Chains A and B, each alone.
Chain A
Amino acid sequence: MRDVLRKRSGRGALAFFMGPSAALVVLFYFVPVILTFLIAFTSMGRTLLWDFIGLGNFARLFGIGARDPLVPRILVNTVVFTLGALPVTVIGGLLISVFSMRVRPGAGLFFRSVFFIPRALPPVVWGFLWAWSFEGTRYGLFNAIRSAVGLPIVQWLIRYPMIIVVLANGFLGISLAMLVFSAAIATIPRDLTRAAEVDGASEGQITRHIILPLLRWPILTMTAWHLMSFLNSYVYVMLITGGGPYYMTEVWSLYAYHMAFVQYRYGYGAAFVVLLVVVNVSLLLLVLRAFGMRRMLTRGKIEV
């Protein structure tokens, strides 16, 4: 009897505490996802008519029958963009954390604060800052500097569009990675590094043989996090290059956006998003399996 009551009260507490958040997740995540899945099987356009066309959108996307000639190019762009921005974020965040945690605390804090500024900016400001800095007229920041010293202006966004959007996204990601890595480094007992110093280890050796091995889990977490983040990212690309010039920076999620909200082909745009969700979930499962989710969640991974 007591067990039953305890079980009942446990369920009640679970419903009480989990209910509201679960309802929100269902309402704002599962319902839109289900709707998006349904729309992906329609030819819905701006007039919002539900005309089901079966797998028509996916067939076009995969090049069966009337194929979309841009899809292969967008796929390559997405891979280049993701694999380009990922090391900028993870390695950049790691280097800054290691460096800033090994210098004087005040200087380190200042350094980390500077790299955290992008995260505090509204996305549109960050995007336009980059767009303005690399504008191809003498009104752009870098061209203004070049003009001031007598150098000709450079069409940055035409000559180096992918590098610029990779850096813009990568630098933004650094702030989060840096925060996580810095927090992780802070939990490493000083005894370990002190002992290494006493034994005559250099900064490089300490970093390589003590700090980095202990940061394995945060690095893997940040890698997984940003891998999916960059796959889904399109806002800064849209603000800086708009996907151009000539589709050179058109990535998967931006193309989905363009299809849905510029060309008003909601059905076709939804098909791209559905595929992205499938890729995301698959990647997530792969990463969790590779990391060992159970081990990850059972105890802290920093303390030694």
Chain B
Amino acid sequence: MECNRLRRYEGVGADETTGNHMAGADLRDKEGNMWNKVLRWGLVGALVLFTGSVVAQEVQVITLRAFVIGPGVMGVKKATNLELAADYLNRILEASGVTVRVQCEVEFSELTWAPFADKFYLDFRAGKAPDIVTLRETADLAAGGFIVPMTQHIESFWSLNYYDFHAGLWEGARWQGEIWGVPHDISPVGIWYRKDVLRKLGYTDAQIAQLLPEDGNTTIETLARLAKEAVDAKLVEYGILHRPSSGPGMYATLLAFGVECYDPEMNTLVLDKPDLLRFLKWHQDMVEQRVIPSAPPPWATIHGTFVEGKTFSTWASHVGTPSEWMAQYGLSEEALEEDLGFLPFPPSEKQKAEGLGPVSVHDFPLYFVTTQCAHPDLAMLLIMLATSPEACAIHSEFTLRPPYRDSALDHPLIKENAYIQRTAPSAVVVRPVPIHPQFWAYMGRVFEALKGVEAGVVTPERALQDMEAWFGAEIPAGRVIP
């Protein structure tokens, strides 16, 4: 598809040149033997040929606009990688003798997701959508005709670029049989805990590594037991803090408890009553044991108390959060290496006995090509080059997030980065957030139930009953596990 497009551009120049040749030949055929006329027309022909060659060499510049979201400054490389890609693409085009160049105008936004998405939809309705956009709500975008499918592009260039993306990432890009975008960022959620607190409790580093291994091969209950020890010993103010809002971290916790939320075969949401009840009861128990507070504190308190050592474990962060802690909360590199530990969400004991391994989740964004893009093939080529191993390593080095493709790990930019190399395996166990238009509405209800149970204003059984009523009304096609 891309080759056809490039050939079409080549064809324009070739036709023009051929046409000029023919014009000159026709003129020569019509001339008599008079030298002056020959000379005159010869000069004219030469001039036409010269002009024709200049026209053929004239470069056509195609401008592609991209809206890229951070959110926050950490995502800036997602934008600059597109500019880098445009540079590489132009070099390839030039070397191929193609007279087309790409100019990429990238608008980088530090907005949060919601206003950024609103802006995109309004721009689209006004007919001013960018050619490339980074967003997350694949189902809405695809169903609403905002983006073009990229399956054919991915298949065409699989062995050139996409062959070593982590397999789970494509699951988060696929909807109704098509791949709609290209992953370009991954920050697996997981559990951060303080090793220094465990040392104060008397655990050696070897014991800590055994109890809470980096690959997450332990249980939620083990972590909770250690948190309780820390709280009871008054070493910390909070044992465990989870997110103050619904998000990927909560979905990961649900998975760790074996709560089935989505059926990919049927593309429908699932209300797994027994496991959801167990999830709610476990949290209720943790509140009663003072391991989890009855109301989750705000983000600043979660981050601040963890960095200060007043919280034993935070479930509200991901593998790349230390860059934020360093920038805003004064975390030192030494403390990061010595005192903090990270692991994917380990399964609960029941789930581990059933064979469930550690799990991580990320609601990662994709590079999409919009349906208002006049040159989708060029935009896709640009995206391909913006997700090269080099581009991936640039993003990873800047954000401290693991690379989303294997080969980037060997790139000189991050090969020697101990933190990235150490946390890279977490990316392999990442599962994407289900692509379903009502998924986050569902998670919102689950989170309200969790908050209500933790606050003690509703029992787990009643919360589940309310949830079932909502589920039945809002997701009639959903599946309920009694």
Per-residue interface assignment for chain B, residues 141 to 170, with 1 indicating a CB less than 8 Å from any chain A CB and 0 otherwise: 101101000000000000000000000000
Chain A residue contacts of B146, Cβ below 8 A: 47
Chain B residue contacts of A248, Cβ below 8 A: 457
Report yes or no: A246 in contact with B444, Cβ–Cβ below 8 A.
no
Chain B residue contacts of A68, Cβ below 8 A: 470, 473
Given A66-B473, A245-B457, check contact A158 B294 (CB 8 Å).
yes
Q: How far is the CB of B104 from chain A (nearest CB, A)?
A: 26
Q: Which of A60, A244, A246, A262 contacts B463 (CB 8 A)?
A: A246
Chain A residue contacts of B473, Cβ below 8 A: 60, 66-69
CA distance A155 to B118 in the complex (A): 36
Task: Say which one of B93-101, B348-356, B378-386, B447-455 lies at the interface with A.
Answer: B447-455
Report yes or no: B121 in contact with A48, Cβ–Cβ below 8 A.
yes
Chain B residue contacts of A66, Cβ below 8 A: 472-474, 476
- The interface residues of chain B, by DSSP majority, are classed as helix
CA distance A246 to B459 in the complex (A): 11
Report yes or no: B144 in contact with A47, Cβ–Cβ below 8 A.
yes
Chain A residue contacts of B470, Cβ below 8 A: 68-70
Q: How far is the CB of A205 from chain B (nearest CB, A)?
A: 47
Q: How far is the CB of A44 from chain B (nearest CB, A)?
A: 11
Closest to A137 in B: B297
Chain A residue contacts of B474, Cβ below 8 A: 66
CA distance A49 to B473 in the complex (A): 22
Report yes or no: B455 in contact with A46, Cβ–Cβ below 8 A.
no
Report yes or no: A244 in contact with B451, Cβ–Cβ below 8 A.
yes
Q: How far is the CB of A57 from chain B (nearest CB, A)?
A: 13
Report yes or no: A48 in contact with B452, Cβ–Cβ below 8 A.
no
Chain B residue contacts of A269, Cβ below 8 A: none
Report yes or no: A245 in contact with B301, Cβ–Cβ below 8 A.
no
Inter-chain contact total with CB atoms closer than 8 Å: 70
Report yes or no: B118 in contact with A46, Cβ–Cβ below 8 A.
yes
Report yes or no: B441 in contact with A263, Cβ–Cβ below 8 A.
yes
Q: How far is the CB of B238 from chain A (nearest CB, A)?
A: 9
Those of B453-482 within 8 Å (CB) of chain A: 455-458, 463, 466, 469-470, 472-474, 476
A291 within 8 A of B: no
Chain B residue contacts of A60, Cβ below 8 A: 473
Report yes or no: B469 in contact with A69, Cβ–Cβ below 8 A.
yes
Per-residue interface assignment for chain A, residues 239 to 251, with 1 indicating a CB less than 8 Å from any chain B CB and 0 otherwise: 0000011111000
B interface, size bucket: 35 or more
CA distance A45 to B457 in the complex (A): 32
Q: How far is the CB of B349 from chain A (nearest CB, A)?
A: 28
Q: Which of A47, A49, A69, A263 contacts B444 (CB 8 A)?
A: A263
Per-residue interface assignment for chain A, residues 124 to 168, with 1 indicating a CB less than 8 Å from any chain B CB and 0 otherwise: 000000000000110100000000000000010110000000000
Closest to A246 in B: B452
Given A137-B301, A246-B457, A246-B463, check contact A47 B295 (CB 8 Å).
no
CA distance A137 to B301 in the complex (A): 10
Chain B residue contacts of A67, Cβ below 8 A: 473
Q: Which of B137, B140, B452, B455 contacts A155 (CB 8 A)?
A: B455
Q: How far is the CB of A156 from chain B (nearest CB, A)?
A: 10
B73 within 8 A of A: no
Chain A residue contacts of B76, Cβ below 8 A: none
CA distance A262 to B456 in the complex (A): 25
B122 within 8 A of A: yes
Q: Which of A47, A157, A246 contacts B140 (CB 8 A)?
A: A47
Report yes or no: A48 in contact with B122, Cβ–Cβ below 8 A.
yes
Report yes or no: A246 in contact with B448, Cβ–Cβ below 8 A.
yes
CA distance A75 to B463 in the complex (A): 19
B74 within 8 A of A: no
B211 within 8 A of A: no
CA distance A262 to B457 in the complex (A): 23
Q: Which of B137, B456, B466 contacts A158 (CB 8 A)?
A: B456
Q: Which of B122, B448, B456 contacts A244 (CB 8 A)?
A: B448
Report yes or no: A157 in contact with B122, Cβ–Cβ below 8 A.
no
Per-residue interface assignment for chain A, residues 17 to 36, with 1 indicating a CB less than 8 Å from any chain B CB and 0 otherwise: 00000000000000000000
Q: How far is the CB of A127 from chain B (nearest CB, A)?
A: 14
Report yes or no: B301 in contact with A139, Cβ–Cβ below 8 A.
yes
Those of B347-392 within 8 Å (CB) of chain A: none
Report yes or no: B455 in contact with A158, Cβ–Cβ below 8 A.
yes
CA distance A262 to B117 in the complex (A): 12
Q: Can you list 12 A-B pairs, Cβ within 8 angstroms, ordered by A?
A: A46-B118, A47-B141, A60-B473, A66-B473, A66-B474, A69-B466, A69-B469, A139-B301, A155-B455, A158-B457, A245-B455, A245-B457
Question: With A46-B118, A46-B140, A136-B293 given, can you name 8 additional A-B contacts, CB distance below 8 Å?
Answer: A47-B144, A48-B125, A158-B295, A245-B455, A246-B448, A246-B449, A246-B452, A263-B440
Q: Considering the complex of A and B, which 10 residue pairs feature the smallest CB-CB distances, nearest first?
A: A246-B452, A47-B144, A69-B469, A245-B455, A66-B473, A158-B455, A136-B295, A246-B458, A246-B457, A245-B457
